[in-house]
A and B are shown apart, each in its own frame.
Chain A
Amino acid sequence: MIIKQLSVFLENKSGRLNEVTEILEKAGINISALSVADTSDYGILRMVVSNPDLALKILKENRFSVSLTDVLCICIPNKIGSLSKTINILSKENISIDYVYAFSMNDKALAVLRTEDIQKGIDVLKEHDTEVLDADDIYGI
């Protein structure tokens, strides 16, 4: 259930994100989810991709600062209050969220979460009947 997210350090220079996406394209790697956290000098690109180990290797070969980070992904109904309910579960168990990126479409919503203790996060959510996706489900999306 642990998903390997690629985290890439990007300086704020034009064309830098494009270089990453092109490298992945050439290697036949699909990007399932992506977010960029930015500061004035640099950003951190976070991605869930179809083949994280290969992506790590080729980005390293291309001299990017990149690492794999454990995250989890939930699938919840796309309706009012469902995200609130999920976050409430984690909050009650004192599991803090470092960051999250999410998107909804039709009747489903997907959210990638980085919690302090990923396995504990997964366990708690499952106990409360939240759908936590398998890595294979995500990499293939």
Chain B
Amino acid sequence: MIWNETIECMDREEMRELQSKRLSDTVSRVYHNVPFYRKKMQSMGVYPEDIESIDDLSKLPFTTKQDLRDNYPFGIFSVPMGEIVRVHASSGTTGKPTVVGYTRRDIAMWSEIVARALSCAGASRDDFIQIAYGYGLFTGGLGLHYGGEKLGATVIPISGGNTQKQLQLMADFKTTVLACTPSYALYLAETLEDAGMTADDINLRVGIFGAEPWTPSMRKEIENKLGIKAMDIYGLSEVMGPGVACDCEYQDGLHINEDHFVPEIIDPVTLKPLPAGSEGELVFTTITKEGMPLLRYRTRDLTSLNYEKCKCGRTLVRMNKCTGRSDDMLIIRGVNVFPSQIESVLLEMSETKPHYLLIVDRINNLDVLEVWVEIEDQFFSDKISMFEQLSKKIKHKIESTLGISVKIKLVEPKTIERSEGKSKRVIDKRKL
């Protein structure tokens, strides 16, 4: 079912007009309310009256994650704090998280786009939706929750973890829709198998999976093991949260709710917009958000856009599955990890050299991060216990910085490849 046919099947020319009007309103608001944007625009010689349509998008400044950190916590909010009814924060663990704020209308809009996404993925008011995304600062849990309620479905707010209970409720409540990360879905499927059960013992029909990259083969595996249709949902907290885009029944690109978020594809090096269909970095401008509107936010996700009308009837532009990142960020068990975080931990420790290699793998459907570390010669000892202690110390420091568990492997000095240019710091065996 199409939740909002007027918007989702809107004529492309009409959509452009709607976007253009909303864009110029947004630009005018941030120019007057957010000193950060006013300064940026003034330094570029761009003023609100220069933005008449979405063709003028490229005149606007970009926004990056670093800009959000620099203005921590509320510097980019566009309304007085009294208007903000909720904040969320990203999983970013480098120093300061990125904080986002929502007004009452933002929450309503968010619920609307998640209801659209759920509907697009095949859910309806008759469904039982088990939300196994984490509830809390992370946008996954509450984002899906309000959308599910808006849809009129029965929401089971179980949050993440507690796998046995997940399966028990799934069986007892006859849950029909599961929302979680794709890796957790696979883990649930395996636990189901271990319990001697099959897809026939549960009632699942549809899965809404996002918050981390996953492959077509993983999709097939989840679909087979749980007997469901596995749908991809895309979003990022800076832009809104889950529901920015979602798969439809044809699973041929995710429909972007572009009446709220205008996408562009840019060349991540030259920062120039690329023609329709080209692959590059995805950039979003929010055009209805009140709490924290963002101009040309660089997602760092690499993908391409498809403006053709979909077989499902929707005219909303589709984004293809992300093929990678334009920075070196890794998503490990849903947590954003930058190799530079590990480098700075190693630099602080006198016992280690800042040479390291990260090996990321997916074992039993869980992401595993192994860190190879070289030891300083002077700390070399003849005792195993000393290495074990050192290994524990490094593990503890990295874990408290990243917020996820890691395995440490000590290696001989000078065995990690050096290079003159950009060194190879990461081996990702997950083949995403």
Contact A37 B384 (CB under 8 A): yes
- B380 near A9 with CB under 8 A, answer yes
CB distance from B40 to the nearest CB of A (A): 49
Least CB distance from A44 to B in Å reads 6
Minimal Cβ-Cβ distance residue in A for B408 = A41
Which B residues lie within 8 Å of A7 (CB)?
A: 380-382
Instruction: Give B407-432 as 1s and 0s: 1 = Cβ < 8 Å from A's Cβ atoms.
Output: 00111111100000000000000000
Q: Knowing A11-B411, A41-B410, A63-B414, say if A5 contacts B375 (CB, 8 Å).
A: no
Decide: A65 and B377 in contact? CB cutoff 8 A.
yes
* Residue count of chain A within 8 Å CB distance of chain B: 20
A 1-33 contacts with B by CB, 8 A: 5, 7, 9-11
Q: How far is the CB of B374 from chain A (nearest CB, A)?
A: 9
- Given known pairs A11-B415, A41-B410, A42-B410, the reply for A67 and B382 (CB within 8 Å) is yes
A49–chain B nearest beta-carbon distance, Å: 14
Residues of B within 8 A of A104 (CB): none
**Residues in B whose Cβ lies below 8 Å from that of A94:** none
Question: How far does the Cβ of A122 sit from chain B's closest Cβ, in whole Å?
Answer: 18
Q: Across the interface, do B412 and A64 meet the contact criterion of CB distance under 8 Å?
A: yes
**B165 contacts partner chain A, Cβ-Cβ < 8 Å:** no
A44:B412 contact, CB within 8 angstroms? no
The yes or no answer to A39 lying at the interface (CB within 8 A) is yes
Asked if B409 and A67 sit within 8 Å, CB to CB, the answer is: no
The listed residue (A11, A39, A41, A46) touching B382 by CB distance below 8 A is: A46
Which residues of chain B (373-389) have a CB below 8 Å from chain A?
Answer: 375, 377, 380-384, 387-388
Question: Which listed residue, B380, B384, B388, B412, touches A67 by the CB 8 Å rule?
Answer: B380
With a cutoff of 8 Å between Cβ atoms, the chain B residues found around residue A39 in the complex are 384, 387-388
**Distance of A46 Cα from B383 Cα, bound (Å):** 10
Q: Which residues of B contact A99 (CB under 8 A)?
A: 383
Distance of A78 Cα from B378 Cα, bound (Å): 39
A9-B383 in contact given A65-B375, A65-B377 (Cβ < 8 Å): no
Contact residues, A43-57 vs B (CB, 8 A): 44, 46
**Distance in Å from the Cβ of A132 to the closest Cβ of chain B?**
20
CB within 8 A of A65: which of B383, B388, B413?
Answer: B413
Selected from A5, A42, A46, A63, the residue in CB contact (under 8 A) with B387 is: A42
A66 within 8 A of B: yes
For window 231-285 of B, CB contacts with A under 8 Å fall at none
Instruction: Assess the B382–A44 pair: CB atoms within 8 A.
Output: yes
Closest Cβ–Cβ distance, residue B395 to chain A (whole Å):
13
CA distance A63 to B416 in the complex (A): 12
**In the assembly, what is the distance between CA of A65 and CA of B411, in Å?**
10
Q: Is A91 an interface residue (CB 8 A)?
A: no
Interface 1/0 per residue, B385-413 and A, CB below 8 Å: 00110000000000000000000011111
Complex interface residues of chain A between 111 and 132 (CB less than 8 A to chain B): 114
Bound CA span A48–B384, Å: 18
From A10, which residue of chain B is reached at the shortest CB distance?
B412
Contact (Cβ within 8 A) A44 B384: yes
Contact A41 B380 (CB under 8 A): no
Partner of A63, one of B375, B383, B411, B413: B413
Task: Out of A9, A37, A64, A98, name the residue touching B375 (CB < 8 Å).
Answer: A9
Determine whether the beta carbon of B382 is less than 8 Å from that of A69: yes
Q: Which of A9, A65, A67, A98 has the most C-beta atoms of chain B within 10 angstroms of its own C-beta?
A: A65
Say whether, besides A65-B375, A65-B377, A11 and B384 are in contact (CB < 8 Å): no
Nearest CB to that of B383 among chain A residues? A98
B375 close to A114 (CB less than 8 A): no
Contacts of B384 in A (CB 8 A): 37, 39, 44
Cβ-closest chain A residue relative to B378: A67
Is the Cβ of B382 less than 8 Å from the Cβ of A114?
A: yes
For the complex, give the distance between the alpha carbons of A74 and B296 in Å: 75
Residues from chain A with a CB closer than 8 A to the CB of B388 are 39
Picked from B380, B382, B412, B413, the residue with its CB within 8 Å of the CB of A5 is B382
* Contact partners of A64 in chain B: CB under 8 A: 412
Q: What are 26 A-B pairs at a CB distance below 8 A?
A: A5-B382, A7-B380, A7-B382, A9-B375, A10-B412, A11-B411, A11-B412, A11-B415, A37-B384, A39-B384, A39-B387, A41-B409, A41-B410, A42-B387, A42-B411, A44-B382, A63-B413, A63-B414, A65-B375, A65-B412, A65-B413, A67-B380, A67-B382, A69-B382, A99-B383, A114-B382
A-B pairs with the 4 shortest C-beta distances?
A7-B382, A69-B382, A65-B380, A67-B380
9 additional A-B pairs beyond A9-B380, A42-B411, beta carbons within 8 Å, are A7-B381, A7-B382, A9-B375, A10-B412, A39-B388, A42-B387, A44-B384, A63-B414, A67-B380
Binding site for B on A (CB under 8 A): 5, 7, 9-11, 37, 39, 41-42, 44, 46, 63-67, 69, 98-99, 114
